[in-house]
Structure 1
Amino acid sequence: MADSVLEPELLGQILPVTAVSFSNKKTVLIGEGSCLAIFDVDSEKFISKHRLCIEKILGISYDIKSDRALIWGNNTLAVLSSPNFDSPKYITTNDWIHHAMLLSKYEIAVLTAHNAVTIYNITSSFIRQVFCVEQPLLCSGKLYLTDDGTIKVVAGTIFNYIQLWTVGKSEKSTIDYQMTTHEGTVFGTAVSPSGNYIASCSDDRTVRIWTCHGNEIAVGWGHEARVWGVQFLEESKLISWGEDTTVRLWNLHNGKLEAIKVFEGHEGKHCWSAHCFNGRMVSGGADGRVRIWDLEETGIERLSLDLSKAYEELGLTFPLEERYISFCLIGLEKAIASTYLGKIMIYHIATHKWRLLFDDARFFRSSFVKYWENMNYIGIADRNGKLLLLNATFTIIKEFEIQSEKIMELLSSPTQSNILLLTRTNSKNLEKSFYEIILPPDFEFASFAYDISTAILVLGSRQGAVCFYILPTITTSIPLESVRCCRRLHGREGVRKVSLQGNDLLTCGRDGFYNLYAISPSYDLIQTHSFKAPKGTIEQILTRAGRKYVYGFHDQDFYFSDESSCFQIFHEDCGGSKRIWDFHVDEKLRSTLIYMRQGQLHIRIDNAESADTVAQEGTHGREIRALSIRPQPTEREGTVFATGAEDCYIRVCLLRMNDQIMTLLRLKKHNTGIQALSWSSDGKYLFSSGGLEEFYVWKISDSKNGPIRAVLASECPTVSIPPDLRITSFDIREEKNENFVIVIGYSNSDVKIWLYNESTGFRIIAEGTWTQCCIMSVRMLGEVFMTAGTDGRIVLWDIRQVLGNINRSTIFRLKKPFCVIALHQSSIKAIEVVQVEDHQWKLSTGGDDNALTKSVLKIDPWIPSAMISQLVQNVDAHAACVTGVMLLDDVLVSVGLDRKMKFWSPELRCVKELKHGVADPGGIIAISGGERRIVLFGIGIQVYRVLGQPENETRMLRNDHH
């Protein structure tokens, strides 16, 4: 087979973004693997992408004067010119590059890992090299020029100290200053614009500020993990970024370094890169996401409304006992507030002016205000049953008096806004209908929704229950009982919100979940979707332009997030969910938040339609350990697949026809990293496994125009006490009536066979044990299953008796394996089994011993017996562990920890190899149908198309043609 026959082509990727830089305020340079992407901020589109001859881009430095970019990684430096950034000129050094800068139009200075600075001509010719007299191994460093043109070096070492030295004219330079107070490796250094201050960050989680003479003047704490980099914005402001995925903005004042803002834009672990320019900041993370932030917060306004100043503005004397009692927003532009002494006031946000609406003794000491957006009505009530209804001009249009009990709260239905608490009004003549209802036992009312078309009222409780009532068309004095009460929808946590959407019920709970249920004719609830907030709790879910948004609380912060793209739009420290607050957001995502703190009203106004930008979507911020492609053809244009990673999340993604990857759904239930994933043949169920014996079944529903939905259908019982085993692999055999026979391999060498049905759950039907090794892979081969483990052997088990008696309650003890074959010296990490005939399979394996094997496995299930034939081995297939194998026609494709993808002939002769960009690869999988595409996953994802045909296949096609 000739080397040129097969040609892998990279189609798309999501990799850690390890370098970012603005070239100007409108253009961002992004380094992702070996790819340099150029992004236009204003149009929010990529201008171009270039593959460089750099294994991984680790740094970008842009020189505004010459409009040139220096891109480096490992020991290679590329010089590119704006605006096209093509035709790079390369310089190769003999050491790892930490920083580079242009000295002039033709000269470049490069700082390398052993504390040396080399000067090159831009044509890559060497000019001279200067060493520091001490040459510790550097972990970071920066070059900068003083006003007189002297080259200075700020070097961060692996030995916890920083060296400041000058590049002189001789071959060796002495150290000017040495800073030694860090307690960990120095990962980043920066120099202020004037050169008077130096910033550093370290393994010790601190950011430190020094004078240019080596004196420490400030230490900043705040990062929750290692800090990777720092950059000065101005003399007194700087940013830092780190392993905790955040970027922090710091202010230096009077010898103190204070974190004044935290930017949370990435998931998993590591914000690897960030850069600021002219009020904008770009950040790149291990999740592959690129965020662009508006540091100047254009369109953001914050107000503090002191009640005494409101009195002063209105020309009134402020009594000491006066205070706010209730308040709410009236759209984005106004707020209404009631006070202890009975005043009702309107605040105009645009003009910052108060208006006294009422000064009424009826509202003395107790009053409520509420705004119903859909009808544009305002309600004002006291606790004694009096209620005023106002229109948009604040004119009273109706007064009600409810004679029964005191009004405790005014609530609005998210479905129909003409509902007041247990009081229905007609939008035309505002006639009231009063109903008395009987609450179920142990039911504290917390939320409600009403559908006027079906007269169904739903109440949510503080104990996690909802109950249904059918309201008669006319008022009745007969107390109404609920037709159904459904409990434990959110455990024992309260149901904050309920909403009716046709035959669906949506609930938000204090447990952080929002759940979607189908309502049966008998008012039973069938769960169709569930999602948990990544942090904190959810207060409400919104849909804007087909995208889902959620807002809620995490610790002391209110947050507003784009759930469709899995990123946070903003967060505000407001004191937590127990405070009084209100939030309004329009269709263009302009928003207003109002909350009370220390007796004052605080308002955050965001008039910008899109201040921050997601330049590139990401995926897991941790190692992807499992990937499974949905077998059933989908109505969506593209390929649906699921990924599971060390961040404990499962993502259901869409590989679009343009090879871009979009996350459709995130699932969170696992408490440990996901080990394996598999779909049912119809794509209706997704099975997942992890540590702590976690094995879950998810029910997935999808439609072309609607959202994809998922709900946890069932979870497999644990088998040990405590449940501390890993479920490293499993395989599924589908039987009639949606019965699934599931073979599960455990890390203690146990094998258990379970029968699963959605209506009956899990039932164990057989079990066995294989030595003391960890089982790494399980494969079903008809009426036989195969395991592979850390002992390097494949093991075949006969389960005919088990499959013939799955409906019996007996738990079978598996017979000893009928065949054991040693293929590797140590753990089998990758396995591919493809059936070619009845009872015959092609078997390919890769191991921890760096070896590959390829063979044909023949099984006679009736004896039973098995035989390996055509065995071919390559003991030095990779330079490190082989983590993935797959068959592409007659070509075996393998990946390993040596960062290489190799293509092998049937004789296991390497016919093609390439360096891929996925670190710590977890495996490789083929996409069936159409083009021959393969997906490589690990720390990131890459999609390749394999062009060409093997020689023998090409020759066969030509013969058929003639």
Structure 2
Amino acid sequence: MKNAHGCYPVTALACSGAWLLAGEGPFLRIYSRTSTTLKQSVAVFSETSIQGISLDTVDTNRILIWGGFYVAVLRVQGLSSESGALTIQFIVDSTKCADWILDGQFSHFVTDHPDKNETYSAALVTAHNALLLLQIDSSSWAVTVKVATSQSKSILYCARLSWEAPDRILIAAGTVFGQLLVWSASLKSSGVDAKLHKVFTGHEGSPFGLSISTSRTSKPSSNSLRLLGSCSDDRSIRLWDISDLSVLDVDPQAAADQASTSDGNTGFLSASTSSGHSKELVAQAMGHLSRIWGVEFLVDRVDSTSFELVTFGEDATCQYWWLEPTYDDQKGICTGVLEHQGYQDRHAGKHIWSHTLSNTSDGVFIATGGADGAITIQKQLAMGSSIAASTPAAGTGDHSTADQVLVPGKIRSYSFVTTDTILMASNEGEVYLAHLPLSVSSSSTFEANGLSWQHVCHEADFGGFSMTASVTSLSLVFLAGKSGSLFAYSPKSGFCKLLDGKRKAAGIFARRSPEHEHRSPTAVCLLARLGDPVAELIEIPFEDHPNTRHARLTIPDGEVISTFAILPGLTDARQIATGFRSGRIALYEATFNTSLEPTTPTPTPPILDQQIHSDAITDIATIPKPNNPHHIFTCRDGSYSIHTLAPTGLIKQHQLSIPLMTEASQILSSPTAGLLIAGFHRKSFTLWSATTEQHLLSIPCGGSNRSWTYCPDPSDPGRGGTLAWTQGSSLLLRTEMPDPTVVRINSGSHGREIKAVAVSPVDSAVGRLVATGAEDTDVKLRRVTDPRAGGGVALQCVRTLRRHNTGVQCLAWSGDGEYLVSSGGCEELFVWRVRALAEGEVGVVCEGVCPFVSEGGDLRVMDLVVERHEGSGLRIVACRSDGSVCVYSYELEGKGWSWDWVGRYGAGCLMGINSLGGLGGNVYLTTGTDGHGAVLELTEGEGGAEVKDVEWKGRFKIHQNAVHAAEVLEWSGDTHLLLSGGDDNALSISLLRGSGQSVATLTIPRAHAAALTALQVFDADTEKGRVLVMTAGLDQRIKLWEVRVEAARQGVDGVQVKRVENKYTPVADVASICSWREGKEVVVLVSGVGWDVWRVNVRDRESG
């Protein structure tokens, strides 16, 4: 059994030039920052995760690594070069220290001591505030770990050390009770002299992060100022003055113990009771939505008097802060206001566990590692004076035109003519044109009143009301007014009237016709009028207004057009798709007249009218595919769908909600980012890539309940674009592009603990998919790639399903792999249809939502059995947290649900349910928190009740308390083998005969050192009476057991159990295991906080 691959929280980071070093579980992994590829990976510790990495600034190839009680020193040859091979050598093997290590650092001073073996290479600080000195013999590489100071009784939650001189170390420590201690250690030949300098109190929670700044010059006195930054689970950031390091005590540990155990000091103190040290609190601020894990002072600017810092939180964001302190000579204190400068979203779910800073010629880059297993590198935000320097001045246009005026009156409507030109109609009926200055592209909001506008014309029809739409690729804008007349403007042909009207315009939409080798590009405008059952369709060849063509479309009764699109076609009969606010779609075969006069075209009725969404359709696009084009629709509810067209209508192949998007508005296609969807998340405009499932940009604009228009970059919409929107009485513009400095290493996994995992049958149409569900409410589908392609097992995320509002509890596939059933809290139970799309894509649709909910609606659906039922439906047997079992039928054709059986086991929570095969298909086994198993049967009963009661056949004890995992095998005849693990750390093997009439159980106590939470049965051979079982527990051990069974013998006399493997897994809180067969090997996926893939070679065991 060997480890093949894994995705773990990134708990340590360090940067060395072009290389990024990451601690992922016990592995040190070295990535190239430019190519993001993994260059080297080595297991530093055997059973401990890496929690810190420190680089030697003198010998740049040396690395100090620690985790838990262990420390190691490595030499990596090649770190100084941006290319070439990397060679890892252990200078100091994993060495156990006396206590948990919180921080470590190499000395960055070059010593001239004649005997370098008398100097110390590195220092460590432990969880009990003791200083450890690491001495390395340069000739033999022997290591000596010296306990330099005594330890305190009070435990620390964080510590930070800094080498001030070759013989002096400054330490800052945060205790569990909220105190901050600043002390130093002088390294002398006679011993270590420790002195306490500061004791700060004020945090209302335990401090989790500390940072020591360099000295700055304060205003106006030019005094030297040095700060200590701290952050806590009280969500506050505090800065303390540590410029004066006078001695308070010669025994820091005793002082810490006295402070933590003194009367009235058993909890957390407020700043007002800080024992006279409140004057040294320079500034404080509240930040983040939850606990703050880390704080870091940013790299100094030359002659800077300000402080810049960044904090890292449980909310997975980086928050930026700026401080300009001032010193009061009379009071002798330094004060300032800690100003929030902005934030960056870094990771999915929760927690930034690690970070590192890199100062380059292009600026300061910050790398963060998250609980999702991903690494994000991004340039720091501009702060303080940098922001003012980058803000453009209004009215500084870069184009000069004749007849330039300021816009009078109120702006009514507007559209982009080109990417740098905008056309506007005022409330007085004036039409203006403006060129956008280059300063708009500086990612800062620009007010259009500062632009220079060129007057185009006056049109009385636009007085008080107007609407616009444009095709920027053809430099053409359509306008409509209160009479419903249609106008057009282009820079070449000017302003002209296209169509007369008698009713007020209700909607105007413009599209470019699909590309065709025998047809020049055209612009098509759809105009709808209030109360008019017919919509006008006008087609204009490129910059040729007189040669227009006209068609009319019949609008279904009661519908309001919200968008339209032109579908690709080969004839003059254009296929037009219109979307309505009701969520319906209509298709037309529109034939255009060659002129507008003298005849009016006959309205074309729809050839298809179909409901496809529950809210307004906001955009339509078509993507060519080899066999059948994909038609994509976005919806105002924040979802998008993919349909194919069949003779019977549109067939939904895929529909998912878009993360962090409350309203989807526009579909775009990018050569670099794939399928893009633009829309709004609350009060911000956002751009999301459906291909990479990443958000590319966000523009605060107040939300979608205002006039707006977006013009993407014409060369690549993935590079951003310009948003224009109305705020109050002003027209604002902002050009935004994805941050080019963002580099993501590893796609990561869930942002919370994985609670459920299930693997689909390999012979399904979509191939083998692994579904994982987590506390972050997401369900991810991952495709298992060919293991021979890269030597390992790669799990590529192909879809993320977002429908649950609570953590996912269970996942189960149907036998054919076409349906996935997921369950969670609040009695959420969903049926997902999974299909193969063109070019290897996967389509997912949430087809069914269980309508049966209890009165409270707050129960968890803990486990499921999904079976094909009567050919056309699914039988779903669910156990719930109130001890009840519910059996539902879901019809695949009609999408209908029925509640067939219900049963109540008792007051406890049912944890799992399994089918007892071979007993007619209606017998099931439940396990619960009372440590018992219970057998139930689905019987027809009497009286023909709509919801029938299950018949309980019996119960039996298998564990001392809660049963966390159970698997049932059909063994021989009416005998079943039950394997289970529980809260009592035990593994139990039970033989069930019949429907539970006879049960014999063999229990392996202390199978794990903590609760056994997951198990998986594989390689079962009933003929040989042998089965392999893998178990996992909260002790982070995975164990392989061989169970041999002679069912003919009485009781458990024929059961023999042998443990054959015992391995450490970096995955904490293991909750589930799944497995699949690949040749002579079984691949096992262990999931919890991250996931781990193991390969078990069963070939030799089969022969034995």
Q: Same fold (TM over 0.5)?
A: yes
Whether the 8 Å contact between 2:413 and 2:468 is mirrored in structure 1 is: yes
> Which residue of 1 is the match for residue 262 of structure 2?
none
DSSP 3-state at the match of 1:928: strand
Which range moved further: 913-922 or 318-327? 318-327
1:341-356 equivalence runs, <5 A: 341-347=430-436, 349=438
Q: Are 2:590 and 1:471 aligned?
A: yes
1:759-838 equivalence runs, <5 A: 759-760=893-894, 761-782=896-917, 783=920, 784-799=923-938, 810-817=946-953, 819-838=954-973
Question: TM-score when scaled to structure 2?
Answer: 0.78
Q: Distance in 2 between matches of 1:716 and 1:536?
A: 24
Q: Distance in 2 between matches of 1:621 and 1:414?
A: 41
Whether the 8 Å contact between 1:551 and 1:561 is mirrored in structure 2 is: yes
> Which residue of 2 is the match for residue 418 of structure 1?
523
Of 318, 334, 337, the match for 1:247? 318
Q: Distance in 2 between matches of 1:307 and 1:249?
A: 27
> Which residue of 2 is the match for residue 875 of structure 1?
1005
Q: CA deviation at 1:943?
A: 0.4
DSSP 3-state at the match of 2:290: coil
Q: CA deviation at 1:855?
A: 3.9
> Which residue of 2 is the match for residue 667 of structure 1?
801
Do the aligned partners of residues 9 and 590 (structure 1) sit closer, same or farther apart at CA in structure 2, a change above 3 Å counting?
A: same
Q: Distance in 2 between matches of 1:384 and 1:920?
A: 67
Of 637, 642, 658, the match for 2:771? 642
The higher relative CO (CA closer than 8 Å, separation ≥ 6) is in: 1
Q: Distance in 1 between matches of 2:1086 and 2:915?
A: 24
Of 537, 561, 567, the match for 1:451? 567
Of 369, 373, 376, the match for 1:288? 373
Do the aligned partners of residues 304 and 435 (structure 1) sit closer, same or farther apart at CA in structure 2, a change above 3 Å counting?
A: farther
Q: Distance in 1 between matches of 2:15 and 2:73?
A: 16
Q: Are 2:919 and 1:926 aligned?
A: no
> Which residue of 2 is the match for residue 5 of structure 1?
none
DSSP 3-state at the match of 1:418: strand
> Which residue of 2 is the match for residue 4 of structure 1?
none
Over the residues paired in the alignment, what is the CA RMSD in angstroms?
3.5
Whether the 8 Å contact between 1:303 and 1:602 is mirrored in structure 2 is: no
> Which residue of 1 is the match for residue 1024 of structure 2?
none
Do the aligned partners of residues 452 and 656 (structure 1) sit closer, same or farther apart at CA in structure 2, a change above 3 Å counting?
A: closer
Do the aligned partners of residues 31 and 582 (structure 1) sit closer, same or farther apart at CA in structure 2, a change above 3 Å counting?
A: same
Which range moved further: 657-666 or 289-298? 289-298
- Deviations along 1:689-747, one digit per CA (max 9) or x if unpaired, are 11222211111111461421111111223242122222111212323422222222122
Whether the 8 Å contact between 2:914 and 2:967 is mirrored in structure 1 is: no
- Whichever residue aligns with residue 755 of structure 2, its letter is R
Unaligned runs of 5+ in 1: 1-7, 956-962
1:705-716 equivalence runs, <5 A: 705-716=839-850
Whether the 8 Å contact between 2:394 and 2:451 is mirrored in structure 1 is: no
Do the aligned partners of residues 144 and 667 (structure 1) sit closer, same or farther apart at CA in structure 2, a change above 3 Å counting?
A: same
Which range moved further: 881-890 or 536-545? 536-545
Q: Distance in 1 between matches of 2:412 and 2:65?
A: 59
- Whichever residue aligns with residue 70 of structure 2, its letter is T
Q: Are 2:131 and 1:117 aligned?
A: yes
Of 759, 764, 767, the match for 1:629? 759
Q: Are 2:89 and 1:87 aligned?
A: yes
- Whichever residue aligns with residue 13 of structure 1, its letter is G
Q: Distance in 1 between matches of 2:382 and 2:337?
A: 24
- Deviations along 1:470-504, one digit per CA (max 9) or x if unpaired, are 434447455555565555x554x433223355665
Q: Are 2:1032 and 1:900 aligned?
A: no
Q: Are 2:501 and 1:497 aligned?
A: no
Do the aligned partners of residues 65 and 339 (structure 1) sit closer, same or farther apart at CA in structure 2, a change above 3 Å counting?
A: farther
Do the aligned partners of residues 351 and 745 (structure 1) sit closer, same or farther apart at CA in structure 2, a change above 3 Å counting?
A: closer
> Which residue of 1 is the match for residue 734 of structure 2?
603
Whether the 8 Å contact between 1:302 and 1:602 is mirrored in structure 2 is: no
Q: Are 2:305 and 1:200 aligned?
A: no
DSSP 3-state at the match of 2:459: helix
In our comparison, the structure showing a higher alpha carbon Rg is: 2
Of 470, 486, 495, the match for 1:371? 470
> Which residue of 1 is the match for residue 498 of structure 2?
400
Whether the 8 Å contact between 1:632 and 1:682 is mirrored in structure 2 is: no
> Which residue of 2 is the match for residue 21 of structure 1?
14
- Whichever residue aligns with residue 217 of structure 1, its letter is V
> Which residue of 1 is the match for residue 274 of structure 2?
none
Q: CA deviation at 1:518?
A: 4.2
Unaligned runs of 5+ in 2: 80-85, 111-119, 217-225, 244-276, 301-306, 326-335, 442-449, 515-521, 528-536, 594-598, 1020-1026, 1044-1055
Do the aligned partners of residues 665 and 116 (structure 1) sit closer, same or farther apart at CA in structure 2, a change above 3 Å counting?
A: same
- Percent of aligned pairs with the same residue? 25
Do the aligned partners of residues 65 and 510 (structure 1) sit closer, same or farther apart at CA in structure 2, a change above 3 Å counting?
A: farther
Whether the 8 Å contact between 1:334 and 1:348 is mirrored in structure 2 is: no
Whether the 8 Å contact between 1:133 and 1:173 is mirrored in structure 2 is: no
Q: Distance in 1 between matches of 2:1057 and 2:59?
A: 51
- Whichever residue aligns with residue 259 of structure 1, its letter is H
Of 657, 660, 682, the match for 1:534? 660
> Which residue of 1 is the match for residue 783 of structure 2?
654
> Which residue of 1 is the match for residue 194 of structure 2?
173
Whether the 8 Å contact between 2:862 and 2:912 is mirrored in structure 1 is: yes
Q: CA deviation at 1:162?
A: 1.1
Whether the 8 Å contact between 1:635 and 1:704 is mirrored in structure 2 is: no
Q: CA deviation at 1:452?
A: 6.0
Of 316, 321, 326, the match for 2:408? 321
- Whichever residue aligns with residue 266 of structure 1, its letter is H
Q: Distance in 2 between matches of 1:528 and 1:588?
A: 23
Q: Distance in 1 between matches of 2:492 and 2:240?
A: 59
Do the aligned partners of residues 480 and 317 (structure 1) sit closer, same or farther apart at CA in structure 2, a change above 3 Å counting?
A: closer
Q: Distance in 2 between matches of 1:222 and 1:447?
A: 42
Do the aligned partners of residues 756 and 351 (structure 1) sit closer, same or farther apart at CA in structure 2, a change above 3 Å counting?
A: closer
- Deviations along 1:767-797, one digit per CA (max 9) or x if unpaired, are 2222332221111123221111222222222
Q: CA deviation at 1:167?
A: 1.2
Do the aligned partners of residues 386 and 541 (structure 1) sit closer, same or farther apart at CA in structure 2, a change above 3 Å counting?
A: closer
Q: Distance in 2 between matches of 1:66 and 1:865?
A: 69
Do the aligned partners of residues 833 and 544 (structure 1) sit closer, same or farther apart at CA in structure 2, a change above 3 Å counting?
A: farther
Q: Distance in 2 between matches of 1:408 and 1:843?
A: 67
Q: Distance in 1 between matches of 2:884 and 2:1041?
A: 34
DSSP 3-state at the match of 1:594: strand
Q: Distance in 1 between matches of 2:810 and 2:737?
A: 43
Q: Distance in 2 between matches of 1:704 and 1:121?
A: 62
Between the two proteins, the alignment pairs up a number of residues equal to 931
> Which residue of 1 is the match for residue 286 of structure 2?
221
Do the aligned partners of residues 479 and 887 (structure 1) sit closer, same or farther apart at CA in structure 2, a change above 3 Å counting?
A: closer
Q: Are 2:1037 and 1:910 aligned?
A: no
Whether the 8 Å contact between 2:665 and 2:679 is mirrored in structure 1 is: yes
Whether the 8 Å contact between 2:104 and 2:161 is mirrored in structure 1 is: yes
Q: CA deviation at 1:71?
A: 1.7
Whether the 8 Å contact between 1:304 and 1:603 is mirrored in structure 2 is: no
DSSP 3-state at the match of 1:589: helix
- Deviations along 1:634-666, one digit per CA (max 9) or x if unpaired, are 566x74111111111111112323422221111
Of 690, 694, 706, the match for 1:563? 690
